[in-house]
Amino acid sequence: MNLYTIPVTTLQGEDTTLARYEGQSILIVNVASKCGLTPQYEGLENLQRLYGPRGFSVLGFPCNQFMGQEPGSAEEILEFCSTTYGVTFPLFEKIDVNGPDRHPLYQELCATIDATGYGGDIRWNFEKFLISPDGLIHRFDPGVTPEDVDLIEAIESGL
């Protein structure tokens, strides 16, 4: 399946696909507002501001599957992200990233193996998938921060 044709819904309720990002570098992240890793929003926004003008975008997919750490409504998530971290990158509707109701986007992404050889279910909030303009996917575990040199190098190599 082509990642760019999978139906997604924005946090504002607009049905769409990722087609507008085809040919760009995108970083898909399952996010949560009440997680110990939530401060990564700041670094993700920094990546968006630094690399956005060069054809890069962070895409956030809220998920409440990890200890209920994203309990908010769409409006609450938008308000939290914009007022607490100044998030300007696109956010999409809350989805499941694991289990029987796993979103089709994550059905595709979970097949990707990271640098340590891990593939399969999402381990926690803020797992990252960098998709280069040529469609190559790099997977980064949740502990890899937006400032991590390996992530930065992978982003820059795709721009």
Domain CATH for 60: 3.40.30.10
What is the DSSP-derived secondary structure letter of residue 18?
A: S
pLDDT digit string, tens, across residues 69-116: 999 999 999 999 999 999 999 999 999 999 999 999 999 999 999 989
Give me the number of domains the chain comprises: 1
Crossing angle, helix 74-85 and helix 40-51, to 10 degrees? 70
Given 35, 63, 81, 110, the catalytic residue: 35
Confidence band for 122, pLDDT divided at 50, 70 and 90:
very high
Instruction: Read off φ and ψ for residue 48, nearest 5 degrees.
Output: -60, -45
Question: Among this protein's residues, is 110 annotated catalytic?
Answer: no
Residue 96 lies in domain: 3-157
Residue 135 has pLDDT above 90, yes or no: no
